[in-house]
Amino acid sequence: MSISWLITNLLASMLLPPLNGLLLAGIGILLWHRRPGLARFLVISGVLLVTILSLGVVARALLAPLEAKYPPLAPDKLDKLDAGAIVVLGASRYRGAPEFAEDDVIGPALDRLRYAALLARQSKKPLLVSGGAPDGGERSEAEVMRQSLARDFGVQVRWLESASDNTLENARRSAEILLPAGVRKVAVVTHAWHMPRSVAAFEAAGFEVLPAPTGYQSVGQVSALDFVPRAGALQGSARALHEWIGQAWYALRR
């Protein structure tokens, strides 16, 4: 397991729901007898923060600006994809899935693979899959993605980048493979909410980027359930805040 990946994710968890609200409430409980006024404020603030971020309308509002920055590719233009290669970014995997004989299988990146397979079949452009094994295990995300693309979608991968731990490394290590091969413009496939940070990383690595977003989550009609706290909405809010924080962090590192 990558220690830097673990530390980064632990620190990020403190800024994201539900831990950010729980920390506020926990500090309030610790101060309950010494500073009762401040303690009540912190407990109420923590509970309200988690509750608000659990609302679908809030999750949509946080995700929408991220997803709106790069529109989806026009379906009737996919056979004329203006890029030298298609790069698919990993997004963790299910380790030791019992229904697959304890094998590692693709997890949240399945949406990305499905869309990348469509692009590859339509455009005939070669594929690179990118993702290491920051959480440990014998097989990288890239290896699992390559297996899934071949087995589940009948699409072969040309290049494998299996050493990266995050989006910045996805871009830099992909550049080490593709730029010497003469590929300078890439179609990057990732979730729509992750695309702004991905484009910035790949452009910084020396690529011209054609965004190919998928998995939009802020689209669709608002329903009554979007005003009720739900776990799925909390996850959406956490995902959006993670991206906003990530963009700020990348900007500071430039």
**What's the pLDDT tens digit per position in 158-197?**
999 999 999 999 999 999 999 999 999 999 999 999 999 9
Fold of the domain built from segment(s) 73-214: Rossmann fold (3.40.50)
Q: Which residue has the tokens 């297996």?
A: 147
Would you say residue 102 has pLDDT above 70?
no
State the average pLDDT over residues 126-148: 91
Q: What is the pTM of this model?
A: 0.93
Work out whether the CA dihedral 61, 65, 70, 230 comes out positive or negative: negative
| C-alpha neighbours within 13 Å on the C-beta side of residue 47 | 7
Would you say residue 4 has pLDDT above 70?
yes
Alpha carbon distance 114, 71 (integer Å): 18
Asked whether the beta carbons of 56 and 225 are under 8 A apart, the reply is: yes
Omega within 30 of 0 (cis) for the link into 229? no
Would you say residue 107 has pLDDT above 90?
no
Instruction: Grade residue 30 by pLDDT with cuts at 50, 70 and 90.
Output: very high
Asked whether the beta carbons of 45 and 147 are under 8 A apart, the reply is: no
State the average pLDDT over residues 211-240: 95
Whole-number pLDDT of residue 7: 83
Whole-number pLDDT of residue 1: 67
Domain ranges of the chain: 3-66+227-253, 73-214
Which structure tokens are listed for 116?
């990348």
Question: What phi, psi does 151 have (nearest 5°)?
Answer: -80, -45
Q: What is the share, in percent, of the chain residues with pLDDT greater than 70?
A: 98
Question: Burial code of 215-232, b = ≥16 C-beta within 10 A, e = fewer?
Answer: bbbbeeeeeeebeeeeee
Helix and strand element counts for the chain (H, E): 9, 7
| C-alpha neighbours within 13 Å on the C-beta side of residue 58 | 22
Alpha carbon distance 87, 23 (integer Å): 38
Q: Which residue has the tokens 């004329």?
A: 80
Whole-number pLDDT of residue 201: 96
